[in-house]
A = this chain, B = another copy of it.
Amino acid sequence: MPRPVPVLAPVLPSTGAQTPVAADAVLLTAGFWHTRQELNTTRLLDHADSWIESMGWYDTFKAAAGLEPDRALQGKLFTDADVYKLLEAFAWEVAQRPDARREARLKELSALVAGAQDEDGYLNTFFGPQGRQSRYADLAEGHELYCAGHLFQAAVARLRAGVEDDLTRSAIAFADRICADFGSGGLTGADGHPEIEVGLMELYRATGTERYRDQARRFVEYRGHRSFDDHAIGHEYYLDDLPVREATVLRGHVVRAMYLTAGAIDLAVETGDSELLDALVAQWDNTWGRRTYLTGGMGSHHLGEAFGLDFELPPDRAYTETCGAVGAIMVAWRLLLATGESRFGDAVERLLYNMVATSPNAEGDRFFYVNPLLAREPGISVPDGVAPFRKDTLRANWFWVSCCPTNVVRLLSSLTGYLATTHDDALTLQQYFSGEVTTQLGDGRDVTVTVETDYPWDGTVTIQVLRGAGEWEIRLRIPQWAREATIEVAGATTPVEPGYASVRRPWAPGDVIRLHLPMAARLLRPDDRINATRGTVAVQRGPLVYCAESVVGAAEAVDLDRFRLDATRPPESVPATGPSDARETVLVHGELGPAEPDREWPYDDADAGADRTPDDGTPVAVQLKLVPYYSWSNRGPSTMRVWIPTADAPAPPTAD
């Protein structure tokens, strides 16, 4: 395969139902994601850089290069990957928002990385010569090839900007080394933490070097034969319990599952393996329909950072780490490109608004790692300047294991690469934002459209054609939740169903489409099989999941344990007043009942209702103002609930 023409896209399949519009072909000019992109550019990236520096994770490269590192505190097996993920973010960033300072820093850090590379191409700061552990000595736990995969993804970002530099040369040399070591007749094995698979596949796509694809296939196929040592949560921890092709649902470690799936999709697409692709689609569908929280978060097991069984989704024990959501976006976006089906775009939207947006605080100096849907207590605050060892804290500046922050910054730096697609003579807006898209359609036609919206606060999206004369198609994703959406073209308003709304007509510059998405807040109820959310409802407004938050010390703080929502009264959207990180709050009605009395033993005879009635007053009607889930704990430590008990929760049963 000849070296492909560079296109600045995070995922670039050679075939599929949809072609991604490049990241630099989409410009954000205002609104929800523009704010977050700016936060990333102006704050998060430098924040990550300085934390990696102060944790000593750059110093491991100096040490591996035989230099004397500056700092005593050093990284762990996987911290090379955090460096690479930040370099990947820098690469996307400078390709779209040129910045001499950042370009210089990227060059400096790329040279640092290259300096640590062994003569023969091998590159890892914890394995190799100079007193380090032997190469490939601990594939199950060592994260060697995992780090390599992230190096390749960083290099791909550079290559897709048309740059060859220390970073891309290092990546290619290491990829060649790995192919030589693990290729036909070489070592067998795979990394306990997948990532090399997707890294090799994208490096194949960026360079045309077919042995990278073949090596990715070897790694994908190695898995699933119980070849790794046993693990406390079983072989599924490594996804080693079943071959990728035979599994029906994702399981084990969420991030590992997502990275492996992303690489396997790339492999299926590039090799035309439709059987494999079908298996991966089914795995996603079963996972999304049975193992995913309302926020799009995945993983109810803290032990092993793992998926639970089907419907094992207790809100308080949600692990749902941010990395899992970034991984799920990698997967859903690939499936969208491969199949062209809108449900994958719906998934990306849910994950962006309720998981990715939840990660950083508004000031851009703290991140969540674990994302519960029920906080009975105000949570664990982390002082400034501390990178906690535990992950289930409130937002912290950094974490001892920092995979989530670096995943968020690389996603935000490449975000515009996930918003629009083309095929034939159609442009599809997969997400809504204020900005501009300038791209070439599948038929070679150059088009430019502007998009104006206050989404997700307002449901109107105005698309204006600036360039692209003649007949072609504009398609808009109508989310599954959007019942009674309409589209307005040339004065005519048409109802549109969830899926894709298509407008094919001869366009003239200045022509406008207006999409109206229904933004009334809605009550949702959970599948009964979840059990842990029985008798509750949640609130969603547009793509945003809302939550009840009771901020410690706030005047309006209530005991959320005592609130019962009246599900017969519709929730109301209310513009936020005062300084706020959300434009719309949602008012729900209900009552504040008496607190459960404290008892010696928390389980009563069911007919002992009379003994149980507390005498501290009757329920009081109250309204509760819900805030978007992404904004929780931005006002200080708080208790929080996504799933709110309803007033028609079961009466005490009576048996005689």
Contact = CB atoms under 8 A, between A and B. Distances in A.
Contacts of A376: 309-312, 529
A436 B400 CA distance: 60
A537 B598 CA distance: 19
A380 to B, nearest CB: 7
A600 interface: yes
A605 interface: yes
A187 interface: no
Contacts of A311: 376, 602
Contacts of A312: 316-317, 376
A602 B526 contact: yes
Contact of A522 (B374, B606, B645): B606
A599 interface: yes
A531 B596 contact: no
A245 interface: no
Given A317-B312, A601-B289, A651 B653 contact: no
Nearest to A315: B531
Contact of A316 (B308, B374, B606): B308
Interface residues of A, number: 81
A654 B391 contact: no
Contacts of A527: 596, 599, 602-603
A303 interface: yes
Contacts of A316: 308-309, 312, 314, 531-532
B529 A596 contact: yes
A292 B653 CA distance: 22
Interface string A301-333: 111000011111011110000000000000000
Interface string A285-310: 10011101010000011110000111
B532 A568 contact: no
Given A534-B535, A534-B536, A655-B568, A524 B599 contact: no
Interface in A266-301: 285, 288-290, 292, 294, 300-301
Given A302-B301, A309-B376, A603-B524, A567 B532 contact: no
A538 interface: yes
A558 to B, nearest CB: 15
A537 B606 contact: yes
A408 B596 CA distance: 36
Interface string A156-178: 00000000000000000000000
Interface string A613-656: 00000000000000000000000000000000110111111111
Contact of A532 (B232, B289, B314, B480): B314
Contact of A602 (B230, B290, B480): B290
A343 to B, nearest CB: 6
A529 B655 contact: no
A288 to B, nearest CB: 7
B301 A604 contact: no
A231 interface: yes
A570 interface: yes
A377 interface: yes
Contact of A569 (B302, B317, B655): B655
A481 B605 CA distance: 8
Contacts of A480: 600-601
Contact of A317 (B233, B317, B525, B648): B317
Given A534-B535, A606-B522, A654-B568, A596 B528 contact: yes
B538 A570 contact: no
A392 B523 CA distance: 36
A390 interface: yes
27 contacts: A231-B390, A233-B390, A234-B380, A288-B601, A294-B603, A300-B317, A308-B317, A309-B316, A309-B377, A314-B317, A315-B531, A317-B317, A376-B529, A480-B600, A523-B606, A525-B653, A526-B602, A527-B603, A528-B561, A531-B645, A538-B603, A567-B653, A568-B654, A568-B655, A571-B655, A648-B653, A650-B650
Given A230-B388, A294-B603, 16 more contacts: A231-B390, A232-B390, A234-B390, A314-B532, A483-B605, A522-B655, A524-B603, A525-B604, A529-B596, A531-B532, A532-B532, A534-B536, A538-B603, A567-B606, A568-B654, A646-B650
Interface of A: 230-234, 285, 288-290, 292, 294, 300-303, 308-312, 314-317, 343, 374, 376-377, 380, 388-392, 480-481, 483, 522-532, 534-538, 561, 567-571, 596, 598-607, 645-646, 648-656
For the complex of A and B, list the 8 residue pairs with the smallest distance between their C-beta atoms, beginning with the closest: A567-B653, A527-B602, A523-B606, A302-B303, A314-B314, A532-B532, A303-B303, A534-B535
